Amino acid sequence: MNTPAPKDLVELARGPATRPAGGRKIDEKLEELMVSARRRRAYVHALAMNYFTPKQYRYAVAWLTKRGYGPNVFPIHHIHPPLSMAVLNNNREAIQALLDGGADPHLSYPTEKGRTSPLQMAIDKLGKLITPFTQREYVKAQGYILEML
């Protein structure tokens, strides 16, 4: 059962993007988020991606990494690492924050159809979007994605 975020956590997500000068409000909210995630057996990066603004999530990635929830770490009972979740949700800001925070786009993990990675997921999504393109243009687009990473 999903429990809604604490009211003040939702309000914080609409507030300032970085930790306020002289205050630790966002740090306190991240602590609350971690406790809530543990209690609900939820994934802290997934909660943070949804509760915080892009700038706050960028800060949260570094904060969570210092506490053992790095961008390449995900609980065994969750299927996707944080970067794959961001790709699935088309969340460009989270993708950038995770890559800047050290997420591995080649991180291989098992799926029902074999193994995949965040990069392969992005390429597969691109392939679905560019069906009108010729095969040659599709290969060029794949090369472009690989060069970007």
Q: Give pLDDT, residue 88.
A: 85
Measured CA to CA, the distance from residue 85 to residue 94 in angstroms comes to 9
The share of the chain scoring above pLDDT 90, in percent, equals: 5
Measured CA to CA, the distance from residue 144 to residue 20 in angstroms comes to 39
The share of the chain scoring above pLDDT 70, in percent, equals: 72
Is 119 or 79 the better-scoring residue by pLDDT? 119
76-87 average pLDDT score: 80
Stated pTM of the model: 0.65
